[in-house]
Amino acid sequence: MTAETQLPQATGSCCSPSGSCHDSAGTDAGQAGVTTVYQVTGMTCGHCEGAVSEEISAIDGVTSVKAVASTGQVTVVSRAALDDEAVRAAVDEAGYELAGRA
């Protein structure tokens, strides 16, 4: 089999090519909005990333979420600045702890 015909390798997650269980819609680089990076403790895998992303994505005005378990950082893009307590509640609902803004 040549390199051109080989299938792409999995990234270590059973959920998606990005290694996350949840890929939020609207993650285009050219997307306008407010970007905030939060530090979340307790995430260890793609499932954790997905749980946090799903809960934060449900906050009104959020257009994309990218959680990275290895760094604990969660990048949130929203139409307007978010209330940190709403983000904290969403992270708590997912079963993790918001340490604050990164």
pTM (2 decimals)? 0.70
Band of pLDDT at residue 97, cut at 50, 70 and 90: very high
Give the pLDDT confidence score for residue 32 in this predicted structure.
76
Check residue 61 and give left, alpha or beta (phi > 0: left; psi -120 to 50: alpha).
left
CB 73 within 8 A of CB 29: no
Q: Which of 64, 67, 57 is nearest to 87 (CA)?
A: 57
- pLDDT for residue 62: 98
Q: What is the pLDDT of residues 59-95, one digit of tens each?
A: 999 999 999 999 999 999 999 999 999 999 999 999 9
Overall average pLDDT of the 1-5 stretch: 45
